[in-house]
Structure 1
C-alpha cells in the first residue's frame, strides 16, 4: 500500500484548513503513511500527533513560509487537549507535540512564540521512536526542542534558543544542523539517567553561531547525571565559553556526565581550556558516534536508510 496524501491551506482551497484537522482525519492505528501537504502560511494553534496515529508526514515547500506556532509556557497552557492527555508544565507546553511513531517533517518551522523571559516554552516535544526532520526550523528561547524519548534524526535543520534549548533523553543524531545561541545559557540538557542507557545527542558536522558576543554560552549541562553529548567536526564561534561545559551546580555530575568533542574547530573550540571532566575523543572512541548506526543500530531491521530514500520533492507530487 502506498502513501495517502491530504492537503491543508488556510484559504480553504485544500482538504482541510488546519493542520490539526488533517491529523484528526488519519485513521486510528493506521498502517500506511499519510503525507499532509501544508500550504504556506502562519498556522497559529497547538498541534498534537497522538500515539494512536503513526506514519504521519508534515511537508511544507520552504520552512520560512510554513510556520506552526503557539505560545504556551510551563506555567500557562491553553490547548485543545486535556492536561491528562498532553501533560502539564514543560512536558505539556509544546506548540507541537509528537507522540506517534515514524513521524517525518520536511520544510516546516516549529515555533514557540512566547517572548524572552517566559521560562520554559517548548516549540516541539518528540516522544516517539524513529522520527526524522529534514530542513526544518525550531524557534524559541528556553527549552525550544524537547527530544524527550525515542530515536530521532535531524538533518539540515536550524535550531535557536538560549537556555537548555535542545534537551530530553532521546537518542538523536543532528547532522549538518545550524545551532544559534540567542543569549546567555546552555545549548543542551541531555537527561540520560544511568550508564546502561544508550541515549544521547550527537552533533555531526554542525555549525554553532551566536549574536556577536563572546563567551556567553555553554555547550551543555547534565539534566540527568549521565547526560551524554558528542560534538564532532563542528564549527563553534566565539559565543561558546572556553570552559565548554557546566555541571549544573553538582560536583558529583562531573564523575558521570559524558561530554565529548571530536575534531571541532572555530574560535569557540578550545580543547586545552575545557573543564577537566569533559574530553576530546580519540579516533577509536569516536567511531560509534559518527555513523547513522548510532540511531539505527539494527542492521537487520534498519529504519533510517529507507526514510532518507523515500523523501519526495514537493514539486514531484
Structure 2
C-alpha cells in the first residue's frame, strides 16, 4: 500500500505540474488539443483550420489574449472583428498560459506542415516576450501595459515561470520547439532568460534578514511584494514559489546565489507545511451548494497556504473586501469555493530536493587560486572563483605586492567587503557596462537602529590603497530611503571608469584625513548621494540627479583643508528634475568646491542650502570657479558661498588635494 501511495502521489504531482500554467482556463479542450494530440494530427485539415484561428487571434505586437478556446469555429463576422482588433494589441498577455501555449501549438504546426506563416507568427510571439520584459528582468501580466496591478512583476499562476521555460527550451535547444532562432535572436533570448533568473533572485523575500520565498506579484519598481486583486494581498505564496524553485532546480551549473535561493526556499517549505488536514469539497445538505472545508486527516499529504503573512508566515484568507481572516471557514461562500486557497505543489520540490542537493549542493573544498596575486572571478566557472567575495576571502592580508582581482562580465548579486587587512587590492572589471555588483539592502531592511545606513553598502572598502576600474556598483533597493552602493572607509583609494548607481546616499566617503580619487566615473542618485568626511577629488565625472534634492552632504572635519573637489565634471539630471542644490552641510565645517564644471539647468540659482543650520553659513566653505552651463549663475548664489579668484583656484591641484605620506596619486 505504501508503494501504491507513493506512485499515486507522483502521478498527481506530474499531472498537476503539467497543468499549472492553465489552471484558470475553465474549458480544458484547447489545452488538450495542444498537449495531448498526436504529432500526426497537426498535419490534418482540422488542425490547419484551428491554426488559422490562432493566427487571427494573435495581436500585431505578437501576443494572444487569455482564456480563449481557439478551436471553436469562427463566423465571418467574428473573423472580421478579430482582424480589426489586431493593431489595437488589447488584452495581449501571458496570464493563464496565454501566448506560451500558442507558441507551442504553432511550433507543432510548423513541424508537421513547414508552413512559413506558422514560423513567422511563432517568431513574432518570441519577440513579444522579449519586448515585454522589464529592464530589471521581470514581466508584467499584460503588455502593452494595462493600468492597475497588471503592471506588477507577475509570478501569479506561474506567468513568469511559463515565459522563462519557453526561453530556456529555446536557448538550450532542447528540441521542444521545432523552429530554430536566428543567431542574433538566440543571444537575445539567452540574455532575457538570464535577466529573468536575476530578477527571481532579487525578488526572493527576506524575512528578518533570512531568505524565504516569493509573493504572487512584486512591485515592478521596488521589487517588494505587492497587492493584486482585493483578496490577493502582499504575502508569501506557497503555490507560485514552488514552481519558481522547480525552475531554478532545472538550471545547469547553478550559481552560488541560485543554490542559496533554493536551499532557503526549501527550508521555508519545510517550516510552513500544514499536516494532519485535507481539503474536502462537499455538498451542503441544506442549500445543495458545493462547500469547501478543511477536515482532519492524519494520512493526508502536506499542504501550503496560498497566502502567508510576510512577517511570521501565518496563513490568511480574505473576501473581496480585502479583510484578512484566520480560517477558510471565515470567508464567504463565493471566495471560499471559487479560489485555490491551498496548494500541494511544494511537495514536488521536497521530493526532488534530496537528489538535486546531492548533485549540486555538496560542500566543495576551498579552492586555492593559481596565482594569489592575480586572481580571476567569473560567473561561468572559468576563473578561480565564481563570486568576488570568495576571491577576497582568498586574498593575502597586508600583502607585500598588489593583489589584482580580475572580474569577468556578469551580474554579481552579492555584498562585497574589502576588509582592513586586504590592503593594496585592485578590483578590475572586464567592462563598466558588463561587470555589475548589485545588492538591495536599505535602512529599514537592515533595521539595526539609527546607524543602519552604514550597513547597507553593496561594496564596502576598508582596506587602504584600493583601486577599482571598469565596473558598476548598484544598490537596487529603489526609492526606499538610505541605501548605499559604495562605502569607502579607507585611505588612498582610486576609482576609474566606474559607475555607482543608487538613490539616496549612493556613495559614502568616510575617514578623517583619508584621501580618495574618482576619475571618469558616473555617479547617480537622489538625495545627498555623495556624502562623508574624506577629502575626495572627482575629476571628469558625470554627476546625475534623479530627483529634486541635494547632490552632496559633506561632513568635512574642521582640521581638513579640503573636502569635496569636483573638477571638469558634468552635472546632469533626468528630464523632470528642475530644482537641485549643489550641496548642504552634514556637519558645520563642510567643504565642497566645483571647478570648471558644466552645470545643467536643474541646478538652483541659489546653489547651496544651509540644512537649516545658521552656524553652517559661518563655518562651511562652498565655492565655485569658472564653471559654465545653464545652471551656473554666480550672481544668484547664496551670499555665504564663494566664487574663487584665479589665484585662489590655483591651489586646487591633484597634488595639493591628494598629498599624503606617499605620492600614491602620481601615476593615476
TM normalised by structure 2 equals: 0.43
Contact 1:186 1:221 in 2 (8 A): yes
Contact 2:520 2:541 in 1 (8 A): yes
1:193-208, aligned counterparts within 5 Å? 193-194=557-558, 196-208=559-571
1:293-308, aligned counterparts within 5 Å? 293-296=656-659, 301-306=662-667, 308=668
C-alpha distance in 2 between matches for 1:145 and 1:166? 5
Q: Could you say which residue in structure 2 is the equivalent of 1:172?
A: 536
Equivalent of 2:417, from 15, 25, 48?
48
Deviations 1:119-171 (A, max 9, x none): 10000100000000010000000000101122111100000001000000001
> What's the offset of the Cα at 1:75?
2.4
Query: Are 1:273 and 2:636 matched, yes or no?
Result: yes
Q: Could you say which residue in structure 1 is the equivalent of 2:589?
A: 226
Equivalent of 1:125, from 458, 474, 487?
487
Equivalent of 1:211, from 550, 559, 574?
574
C-alpha distance in 2 between matches for 1:222 and 1:51? 28
Q: Could you say which residue in structure 1 is the equivalent of 2:191?
A: none
Q: Could you say which residue in structure 2 is the equivalent of 1:315?
A: none
SS of match in other structure, 1:272: helix
Query: Are 1:39 and 2:403 matched, yes or no?
Result: no
Q: Could you say which residue in structure 2 is the equivalent of 1:96?
A: 459
| Gap change, CA 1:26 and 1:264, over 3 Å in 2 | same
Contact 1:214 1:238 in 2 (8 A): no
C-alpha distance in 2 between matches for 1:77 and 1:27? 30
1:1-317, aligned counterparts within 5 Å? 4-77=373-446, 88-116=451-479, 118-149=480-511, 150-194=514-558, 196-213=559-576, 215-296=578-659, 301-306=662-667, 308=668
> What's the offset of the Cα at 1:279?
1.2
Deviations 1:244-280 (A, max 9, x none): 0000011111111100000000000000000010110
Structure with the higher fraction of residues in helix conformation: 2
C-alpha distance in 1 between matches for 2:471 and 2:577? 31
C-alpha distance in 1 between matches for 2:446 and 2:401? 32
C-alpha distance in 1 between matches for 2:464 and 2:660? 17
Deviations 1:159-184 (A, max 9, x none): 00010000000011010000001111
SS of match in other structure, 1:21: helix
Deviations 1:16-67 (A, max 9, x none): 0000000110122222111101010110010001101101111112111000
5+ residue gaps in structure 1?
A: 309-317
> What's the offset of the Cα at 1:91?
1.4
C-alpha distance in 2 between matches for 1:142 and 1:230? 21
Structure with the higher fraction of residues in strand conformation: 1
Contact 1:33 1:56 in 2 (8 A): yes
SS of match in other structure, 1:42: strand
C-alpha distance in 2 between matches for 1:199 and 1:231? 12
Higher-Rg member (1/2): 2
C-alpha distance in 1 between matches for 2:396 and 2:622? 42
SS of match in other structure, 1:163: coil
Number of matched pairs: 295
RMSD across aligned positions (CA): 1.7
Deviations 1:183-231 (A, max 9, x none): 111000000132x223401000000001124631100000010100010
